[in-house]
């Protein structure tokens, strides 16, 4: 059963055909990696999934419903959460407040004029946020300003914020870009744990082959805006076409 169906998606920027005829099917409860050399259209594809860009042609179905033409917040409310390449968190707020916001969004929807009750009285949200901080090992940093966190902690916080929404699909955009090896390995472990313990589908765009092959159980290779091949990791490793498109360029 596939949760995300991308069919014949094309996107053009002026003279550049960024995506053409992209087909992609992400199965439920898998970790699906989308890889490809620079400029292959990975980020464009991701932006088409979350509502930041609208493709010129084709369809994107999430759980049987089209996401096209919907605003990012609507798509998120459908069950797709996104982790950014550089962590996007609320830098001026405390870690705890950061964690509470997605919990409110999950409970109250896209907008609620909840102006009179105090935040401290929202026990359900407090408990949920607290539990998620525990899970992310960040409980002792709850009163820190999020901007003061280390890069690795910001990443953990962002992932925790996405998870606290109980998303069906978690999209990660190069989650380990610019990280030291130790941090990268921590992130891999965290993501593994998440995918093992939760009822969640993960789609990950990644450059780092180490990350891809430690996590993914399905891989799509994009090259020049079209999928080259979609297969299991073992087969991708040996695929000559992939080597040519990918490694051939870098080697």
Partner 1 sequence: MFGLDTKDTRSLIIVAILVVLAPFILNPFPAASAMAQFNAGYPDLMQKFVIFGIFAIGFNILFGLTGYLSFGHAAFLGVGSYSCVWMFKLLGYNVIPGILLSVVISGIFALAIGYVSLRRSGIYFSILTLAFAQMSFSLAYSVLSNPKFNLTNGETGLQVYANDPQWFHRDSLPDLPHLFGLSMRATHKLEIGAWEFQLNVGYYLCALVMLGCFYLAIRIFRSPFGLMLRAVKSNQQRMNYTGLNTRPYTLAAFVISGMYAGLAGGLLSAVDPLAGAERMQWTASGEVVLMTILGGAGTLIGPVLGAGFIKYFENIFSKINDHVLHSWFAFLPDGIEDFVVFLIHPFIGKGWHLTLGILFMLVVIFLPGGLVEGGQRIGNWVRGRKRRKSKTATKTEPAE
233: number of Cβ within 10 Å: 16
| Shortest distance in whole angstroms from residue 50 CB to partner 1 | 7
- Two tokens, residue 12: 């053009």
8-state DSSP, 119: G
The DSSP string of 13-45 is: ETTEEEEEEEEEEEETT-EEEEE-STTSSHHHH
Backbone φ and ψ of 222, nearest 5°: -100, 140
| Shortest distance in whole angstroms from residue 130 CB to partner 1 | 16
Helix 151-163 to helix 123-135 angle (10° resolution) is: 130
| Shortest distance in whole angstroms from residue 139 CB to partner 1 | 19
Which lies closer to partner 1 via its Cβ, residue 105 or residue 136?
Answer: 105
CA–CA separation, 43 vs 139, rounded Å? 33
Which lies closer to partner 1 via its Cβ, residue 118 or residue 197?
Answer: 118
Q: Compute, in degrees rounded to 10, the torsion defined by CA atoms 185, 34, 45, 174.
A: 10
Which lies closer to partner 1 via its Cβ, residue 157 or residue 221?
Answer: 157
Which lies closer to partner 1 via its Cβ, residue 40 or residue 161?
Answer: 161
Which lies closer to partner 1 via its Cβ, residue 109 or residue 178?
Answer: 109
CA–CA separation, 232 vs 213, rounded Å? 10
Which lies closer to partner 1 via its Cβ, residue 92 or residue 134?
Answer: 92
| Shortest distance in whole angstroms from residue 100 CB to partner 1 | 7
CA–CA separation, 19 vs 223, rounded Å? 9
| Shortest distance in whole angstroms from residue 10 CB to partner 1 | 24
| Shortest distance in whole angstroms from residue 194 CB to partner 1 | 18
8-state DSSP, 183: H
Binding residues for partner 1 (CB under 8 A):
50, 71-74, 76-77, 81-82, 84, 88-93, 97, 100-102, 104-106, 108-122, 125, 161, 165
- Two tokens, residue 60: 């994107």
């Amino acid at each position: 059963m596939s949760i995300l169906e991308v069919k014949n998606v094309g996107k053009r920027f002026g003279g550049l055909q960024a995506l053409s005829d992209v087909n992609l099917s992400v199965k439920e409860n898998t970790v699906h990696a989308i890889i490809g050399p620079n400029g292959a259209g990975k980020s464009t594809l991701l932006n088409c999934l979350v509502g930041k860009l609208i493709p010129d042609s084709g369809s994107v179905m999430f759980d049987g419903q089209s996401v096209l033409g919907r605003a990012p917040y609507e798509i998120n409310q459908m069950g797709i959460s996104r982790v950014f390449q550089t962590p996007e968190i609320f830098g001026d707020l405390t870690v705890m407040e950061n964690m509470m916001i997605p919990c409110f969004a999950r409970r109250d929807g896209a907008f609620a004029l909840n102006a009179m009750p105090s935040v401290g009285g929202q026990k359900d949200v407090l408990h949920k946020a607290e539990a998620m901080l525990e899970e992310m090992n960040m409980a002792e940093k709850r009163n820190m300003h999020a901007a003061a966190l280390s890069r690795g902690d910001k990443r953990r916080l962002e992932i925790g914020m996405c998870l606290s929404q109980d998303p069906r699909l978690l999209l990660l955009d190069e989650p380990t870009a610019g990280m030291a090896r130790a941090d990268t390995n921590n992130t891999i472990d965290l993501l593994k744990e998440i995918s093992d313990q939760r009822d969640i589908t993960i789609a990950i765009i990644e450059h780092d082959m180490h990350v891809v092959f430690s996590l993914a159980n399905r891989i799509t290779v994009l090259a020049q805006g079209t999928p080259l091949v979609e297969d299991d990791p073992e087969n991708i490793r040996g695929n000559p076409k992939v080597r040519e498109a990918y490694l051939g360029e870098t080697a």
